[in-house]
Amino acid sequence: MEQEQGKSNRMGTPEHTQSFYISKITEIMRTRKRGDTPVALVHTYGCQQNVSDSEKIKGFLEQMGFSFTDDPEQADFILMNTCAVRGHAENRVFGNIGALKNLKRRHPSLLIAVCGCMMEEREASEHMRRKFPFVGLIFGTHVLHRFPELLYRALTEKENMVQERGDEQEDLHIAEGLPVHRDGKIRAWLTIMYGCNNFCSYCIVPYVRGRERSREPDAILKEFKGLVDAGYKDITLLGQNVNSYGKTLEHPVNFAGLLRMLDKVEGDYRIRFMTSHPKDATHELIDTMAEGKHICHHLHLPVQSGCNRILKEMNRHYTREDYIGLVKYAREKIPDISLTSDIIVGFPGETRDEFLETVSLIKEVGYTSLFTFIYSPREDTAAAKMPDPVPAEEKTKWLQELCAEQEKISAVRCAGEVGKTRRVLVEGRNPKTDLLHGRTGGNVVVDFPGSDEIIGSFANVKITEAWNWILKGTLV
């Protein structure tokens, strides 16, 4: 019976099949748990998409009767959901997994699992298998919808369970209706598409997340309405390149069209989205943001470099001039728009003069904030094969120089907020200051005094002080 259930699950993953495994795991954990209920720890590395994936895994675990902890000593099951975008993230994963060896020795019944983007890299997966034999379950992003089956096999089979990527059809499969255990009650992540077709020369994502495939708009709308009805106030639409949304649908709907559809839902909430690729960001998208009732005036638009030669080497398919033109149009249509971006410093072959073109671009654009990174080579990407003569110490100096310039820009932009009144979503308290803590529609953090009663709601706050990245205000 159990073998036949496993075979039928391979393609399409019927809901009743995963329910079968959920019930079997529930029975197993009655005798395997150390406390009153089985306890799981799920640790997430990387981007918001990984956070969203972890919430689905926790949804399955919740159906199996698990509660959750942040203390490894209390856990019957520990799962690390990994990121492969930069080498530093991978090294952290290996270090943290290694630290669990003694815990596994003290608690032999503990099951340790590793999943996510790193485990779609053959070398990383093989390294995990060889160096950490106490890890009982390894699987990648493409089989997340089969998690109950994989966990059941890990609990019942003597050999460690390693799930390689499925066949081509399973790689393209979009599983709807998966359970979700959301980590908060105010902000929510909503995935609208998976994968990426851009193949930027430095990026591993298309290799570990696969080709682009979009969810049907009706499925997205249903989930979105459910979040609004549940009281979520800040809903972020997720995709590696949301501006490519809809291209794989039988009846295509572009991203601007999807935004307009969601924006019509009644309620008191905000819509955000990430990430936008500049080559696919259109005037229609900007116009939709300007006209929307709920769409935040915040655009995260990763430029990566301000140098046209480097952009070409990165395979980004736009020029500095294209990017600046889009920014100018956005500022014309949405004067209060908040622009943020990603920058890679020290791309292979980048000279100091080319780096300074990026510095001049951030001055010209005037970003609210930046996410900055030193180039990290990823095996099997085109950039990893390029000559890279600039030493790491020099790249570090460049990064520090770039960040110093952005701090000046941010300080000026934040100072310009003083005296204005902003609508802020109150998210909680800042543990360092004990002030209420929230965000503007432009995704700028504001701290202000007030009562816990307004946490989870919108409040009008007059900005009284600016501290570079954070604003301080008072309720009005």
Structural domains of the chain ordered from first start: 2-171 (3.40.50.2300), 421-475 (2.40.50.140)
Residue 19 — very low, low, confident or very high, per pLDDT cuts 50/70/90? Answer: very high
pLDDT band at 5; cut points 50, 70, 90: very low
Is the pLDDT at 172 greater than 70? The verdict is no
Give pLDDT, residue 327. 98
Computed on alpha carbons and rounded to an integer, the radius of gyration of the chain in Å comes to 23
Say whether the peptide bond before residue 275 is cis (omega within 30 degrees of 0): yes
Q: What is the pLDDT of residue 35?
A: 86
Identify the bridge partners of residue 40 per DSSP, sorted by sequence position.
68, 77
pLDDT, tens only, 103-126: 999 999 999 999 999 999 888 899
Average of pLDDT values for 272-287? 96
User: With 90 as the cut, is the pLDDT of residue 167 above it?
Assistant: no
CA-to-CA distance for 46 and 89, rounded, in angstroms? 8
- Sign of the torsion angle spanned by Cα atoms 62, 67, 72, 76: negative
pLDDT, tens digit, 9 for 90 and up, residues 403-425:
999 999 999 999 999 999 999 99
pLDDT in tens, 344-395: 999 999 999 999 999 999 999 999 999 999 999 998 899 999 999 999 999 9
CB 12 within 8 A of CB 3: no
∠ Cα 42 58 20 (to 5°):
125
Sequence-separated contacts (24+) of 357-362 with Cβ below 8 Å: 357/305, 357/306, 357/307, 357/320, 358/305, 358/306, 358/307, 358/402, 359/306, 359/401, 359/402, 359/405, 360/306, 361/303, 361/306, 361/320, 361/323, 361/324, 362/306, 362/402, 362/405, 362/406, 362/409
pLDDT at 214: 96
For residue 90, the model assigns a pLDDT of 87
Is residue 3 pLDDT above 90, yes or no? no
Quote the percentage of the chain above a pLDDT of 70.
Answer: 95
pLDDT(16) > 70: no
Is the dihedral angle over the CA atoms 286, 287, 290, 296 positive or is it negative? negative
- At position 312, the amino acid (one-letter code) is K
CB 386 within 8 A of CB 445: no
Of 40, 31, 194, which Cα lies nearest the Cα of 111?
40
pLDDT score of 6? 34
Q: What is the pLDDT of residue 10?
A: 38
| 455 φψ region: left (φ > 0), alpha (ψ -120 to 50), beta (else) | beta
Distance CA 296, CA 80 (A): 32
Cβ-proximal residues to 310 (8 Å cutoff; 6+ apart), any chain = 304, 347, 349, 350, 354
- Give the total residue count for the chain: 476
Give me the pLDDT at residue 8, please.
34
Rounded distance between C-alpha atoms, residue 95 and residue 87, angstroms: 12
Classified as helix, coil or strand, 376 is: coil
Q: Which long-range contacts (C-beta less than 8 Å, at least 24 apart) are formed by 409-416? A: 409/362, 409/363, 409/366, 409/367, 410/367, 410/368, 410/369, 410/468, 410/469, 411/466, 411/468, 412/366, 413/366, 413/368, 414/444, 414/466, 414/467, 414/468, 414/469, 414/470, 414/471, 415/466
Is pLDDT at 209 greater than 60 in this prediction? Answer: yes
Instruction: Round the average pLDDT of the chain to a whole number and report it.
Output: 92
Position 178 scores a pLDDT of 93
pLDDT, greater one: 472 or 35: 472
Q: Is residue 166 very low, low, confident or very high in pLDDT (cuts 50, 70, 90)?
A: low
Mean pLDDT score, 310-336: 98
Q: Cβ(140)–Cβ(208) under 8 Å? A: yes
Say yes or no to pLDDT of 13 above 70. no
Beta strand spans in 258-337 (E): 270-274, 298-300
Percent of the chain residues topping a pLDDT of 90: 84
**Are residues 128 and 114 in contact, defined by beta-carbon separation less than 8 angstroms?**
yes
DSSP secondary structure letters along 2-41: HHHHHHHTTTT--HHHHHHHHHHHHHHHHHH-SSSS-EEE
Q: How many Å apart are CA 458 and CA 306, to the nearest integer?
A: 37
**pLDDT at residue number 164:** 63
Which residues are registered as beta bridge partners of 195?
none
Under the banding of pLDDT at 50, 70 and 90, the label for residue 15 is low
| 174 DSSP β-pair partners | none
DSSP letter at 215 equals: P
Work out the average pLDDT over 195-211: 94
Confidence of residue 161 (pLDDT cuts 50, 70, 90): confident
Alpha-carbon gap, residue 240 to 206, rounded angstroms = 9
Both tokens assigned to 293: 């009732």
Q: How confident is the model at residue 86 (pLDDT cuts 50, 70, 90)?
A: confident
- Per-residue pLDDT tens for 281-303? 999 999 999 999 999 999 999 99
